[in-house]
């Protein structure tokens, strides 16, 4: 079967039953977003709370392994449950799509029940396979087989940025991604084989590898063509909506707001429809290609036994859908009225703006302070003579060409060293001098306390004694990646504002920190809401792209840490100072909904 003919066949099959397919996908997405994911999140929090683990991070994962075996076992069980639910999602989706295609109709609740019963066919070895397949392969094919349960399987952007900044690592990372994309294409038929043909996991892997041996490029161009087609559908419709709203804003101001609420709802519905279209089309292409390559053999599906839906279930489902739509309409109203937009604190990362100086140096601080950020974020290390120097890296080689760490040199020695970056140069500064310069220019600081195993036992005591009064007087704040620093400061200097830095959003931490500094890649609305409910603030780092700045703004974060302060200020001004309804729709379309949610699955 030629590729183009297969594509047309899948296209025709979708539009023959487009309503049933769309409802199938939306049902599963709503079930996951509004029920399954909240339950999984609650269970994870319960495990941590019961075992008195305040947070999960790479800084304490070793301690959990050695001192909290019960918690470790419970978390592993929860992970296996999540993997089971991921498989359940795809089982429900593939079986539902195939039943609709062959006119073997079944109501959604019966299909959900049958898919749950079929989980008994899972073998223990399947879970080992899932760890590889779902975590390594599927994240590179999210547009094809998206799962909200795997939304956190992402590499933090700061790690990718660091790796791509190194030529060797950049080449290796590129080759790694290409290799995984190739593996993903070769294993693309694994799920249909497992779910529809009931093949064991490793048999499905072997068979998929055989079936795609000479068809890799055909699968690739089909997926690319589908991606382009879906993008054009979205862009065409949203451009039409934007132009319509622009017309209402300019010619019919009295109905512009009502039109904007309606148009925003239409964009949301269309985006979810295209998400369902994309997922179903990929599934149909795989199913039809698999049937052709296996000589037309029919999938092994459980028999269809339609059951009449009880009256109370119909009422309950109708009420649930009505509630879901009402919440979306309310969000549209609040969004368009600007209720959700509160300008966050602007925080300059390492005291620079758009490479205007050497990070963490006084000349850069003075240049950046002229732009009046709310805070300048900077880093300090303890020196050999137990003083504090302004420095981010644990080694001077990158900026000074000296293979030494701050703890190996005295403060006097460090102050004589010149550092160079982005065509600028400056002397390394002591924390005392940097703090004095900031205070002289009325610039508040967000001080990151860096720690190493070589720090003295009295490091934190020394810091508190020397700087607590001054930091409080000038309303400076502190954050640290070391939780013992956060604990120590809140216990011994409780008036200081202290934020705990988290590189990954695995679960909401239970700490006494005043705030959390969260790496922006996995930061989501649920984390921000949980923090605000506990009267804690959230700072996003390091946010350098205007699209991500807008996303953080609409997540209602309290502060944004950036290397591009000027861009951040311009973005906040554009997004918060009475934009037109057409502008708000454009922001929603380009930077919030379509960019972050290309498949119609709620972000979690």
Q: Give the pLDDT of residue 298.
A: 61
SS3 category, 2: coil
Residues of the chain with CATH 3.20.20.190: 345-573
Q: Which positions ≥6 away from 106 have C-beta within 8 Å?
A: 96, 99, 114, 304, 305, 306
**Residue 127 — very low, low, confident or very high, per pLDDT cuts 50/70/90?**
low
Question: Is 91 a residue whose pLDDT tops 60?
Answer: yes
What does the alpha-carbon distance between residue 437 and residue 372 come to, in Å, rounded to a whole number? 14
pLDDT at 596: 40
**Model confidence at 305: pLDDT above 80:** no
pLDDT at 7 over 70: yes
Q: Is the confidence at residue 414, as pLDDT, over 90?
A: yes
| Higher-scoring residue by pLDDT: 354, 218 | 354
- Look at residue 150 and tell me whether its pLDDT is greater than 70: no
SS3 (DSSP) at 532: helix
The yes-or-no verdict on residue 231 having pLDDT over 70 is yes
Weakest-pLDDT range from 38-47, 425-434, 557-566, 586-595: 586-595
Please say if the pLDDT value at position 137 is more than 80: no
Identify the pLDDT of residue 595.
39
pLDDT above 90 coverage of the chain, percent: 44
Mapped to the 3 state alphabet, what secondary structure does 247-297 carry?
Answer: HHHHHCHHHHHHHHHHHHHHHHHHHHHHHHHHHHHHHHHHHHHHHHHCCCC
Beta strands in 475-604 (DSSP E): 477-480, 498-502, 515-519, 537-541, 559-562
Question: Which of 129-143, 360-374, 442-456, 542-556 is least confident?
Answer: 129-143
Q: Is the pLDDT of residue 382 over 60?
A: yes
241 confidence band (pLDDT: 50, 70, 90): very high
Question: Quick one: pLDDT at residue 317?
Answer: 62
Higher pLDDT, 413 or 506: 413
Mean per-residue pLDDT for 381-407? 95
Residue 356 has pLDDT above 80, yes or no: yes
Whether 307 shows a pLDDT value over 60: the answer reads no
Q: What is the pLDDT of residue 158?
A: 65
The angle that helices 69-101 and 124-132 make with each other, rounded to 10 degrees, is: 90
pLDDT of amino acid 154: 62
- Residues of the chain with pLDDT > 70, as a percent, come to 84
Mean pLDDT of the chain: 85
Please report the pLDDT score of residue 592 as a whole number. Answer: 62
pLDDT at 458: 95
Distances (CA, A) of 144 to 176, 280, 567: 20, 9, 33
Mean pLDDT score, 421-448: 96
> What are the tens digits of pLDDT across the range 38-65?
888 889 889 988 888 888 877 777 788 8
The 10s digit of each residue's pLDDT in 176-202 is 878 878 888 888 888 888 888 888 888
Higher pLDDT, 429 or 578: 429
For tokens 């089309």, the residue is 281
pLDDT 10s digits, 322-353:
777 777 788 888 878 765 568 999 999 999 99
| Per-residue confidence band for 19, with pLDDT thresholds at 50, 70 and 90 | confident
pTM over 0.85: no
Answer whether residue 284 shows pLDDT above 80. yes
Measure the CA–CA gap between 479 and 537, rounded to whole angstroms: 12
Rounded Cα–Cα distance for residues 64 and 55 (Å)? 10
Burial string for 308-325 (b: 16+ CB within 10 Å, else e) reads eeeeeeeeeeeeeeeeee
231 compared with 156, residue with greater pLDDT: 231
Give the per-residue pLDDT at 162: 67
The topology under which CATH files domain 345-573 is: TIM Barrel (3.20.20)
* CA angle in degrees (0–180, nearest 5) for 19-20-26: 90
Q: What's the mean pLDDT in 281-290?
A: 91
DSSP string, 464-484: HHHHHHHHHHTT-EEEES-HH
């Amino acid at each position: 079967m030629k590729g183009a003919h297969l594509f047309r066949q899948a296209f025709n099959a979708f539009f023959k039953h487009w309503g049933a397919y769309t409802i199938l996908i939306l049902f599963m997405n709503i079930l996951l977003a509004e029920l399954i994911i909240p339950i999984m999140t609650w269970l994870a929090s319960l495990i941590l709370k019961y075992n008195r683990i305040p947070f999960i991070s790479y800084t304490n994962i070793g301690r959990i392994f050695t001192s909290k075996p019960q918690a470790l076992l419970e978390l592993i069980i929860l992970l296996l449950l999540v993997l089971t639910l991921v498989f359940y999602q795809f089982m429900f989706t593939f079986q539902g799509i195939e039943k609709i295609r062959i006119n073997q109709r079944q109501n959604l609740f019966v299909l959900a029940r049958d898919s749950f019963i079929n989980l008994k066919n899972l073998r223990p070895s399947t879970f080992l396979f899932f760890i590889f397949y779902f975590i390594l392969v599927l994240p590179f094919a999210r547009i094809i087989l998206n799962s909200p349960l795997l939304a956190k399987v992402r590499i933090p952007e700061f790690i990718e940025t660091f790796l791509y900044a190194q030529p060797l690592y950049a080449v290796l990372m590129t080759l790694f991604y290409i290799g995984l994309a190739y593996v993903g294409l070769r294993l693309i038929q694994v799920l249909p084989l497992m779910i529809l043909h009931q093949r064991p996991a490793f048999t499905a892997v072997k068979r998929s590898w055989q079936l795609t041996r000479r068809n890799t490029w055909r699968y690739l161009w089909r997926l690319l063509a589908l991606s382009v087609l879906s993008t054009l559908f979205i862009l065409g419709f949203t451009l039409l909506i934007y132009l319509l709203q622009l017309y209402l804003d300019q010619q019919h101001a009295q109905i512009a707001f009502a039109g904007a609420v309606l148009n925003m709802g239409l964009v949301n519905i269309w985006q979810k429809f295209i998400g369902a279209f994309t997922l179903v089309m990929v599934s149909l292409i795989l199913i039809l290609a698999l049937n052709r390559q296996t000589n037309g053999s029919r999938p092994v599906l459980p028999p269809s036994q339609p059951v009449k839906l009880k009256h109370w279930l119909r009422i309950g489902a109708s009420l649930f859908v009505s509630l879901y739509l009402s919440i979306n309409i309310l969000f549209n109203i609040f969004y368009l009225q600007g209720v959700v937009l509160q300008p966050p604190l602007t925080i300059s990362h390492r005291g620079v703006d758009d490479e205007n100086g050497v990070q963490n140096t006084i000349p850069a601080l003075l240049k950046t302070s002229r732009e009046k950020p709310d805070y300048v974020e900077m880093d300090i290390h303890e020196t050999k003579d137990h003083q504090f120097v302004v420095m981010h890296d644990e080694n001077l080689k990158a900026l000074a060409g000296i293979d030494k760490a701050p703890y190996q040199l005295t403060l006097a020695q460090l102050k004589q060293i010149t550092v160079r970056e982005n065509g600028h140069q400056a002397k390394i500064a002591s924390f005392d001098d940097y703090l004095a310069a900031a205070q002289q220019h009325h610039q508040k600081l967000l001080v990151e306390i860096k720690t190493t195993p070589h720090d003295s036992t009295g490091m934190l005591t020394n810091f508190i004694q020397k700087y607590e009064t001054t930091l409080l007087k000038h309303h400076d704040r502190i954050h640290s990646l070391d939780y013992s620093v956060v604990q120590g400061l809140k216990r011994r200097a409780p008036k200081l504002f202290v934020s705990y830095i988290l590189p990954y959003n695995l679960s909401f931490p239970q700490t006494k920190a005043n705030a959390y500094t969260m790496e922006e890649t996995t930061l989501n609305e649920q984390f921000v809401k949980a923090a605000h409910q506990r009267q804690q603030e959230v700072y996003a780092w390091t946010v350098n792209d205007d699209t991500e700045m807008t996303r953080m703004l609409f997540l209602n974060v309290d502060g944004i840490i950036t290397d591009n302060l000027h861009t951040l200020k311009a973005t906040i001004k554009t997004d918060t100072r009475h934009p037109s309804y057409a502008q708000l729709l454009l922001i929603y379309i380009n930077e919030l909904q379509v960019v972050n949610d290309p498949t119609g699955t709620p972000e979690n």
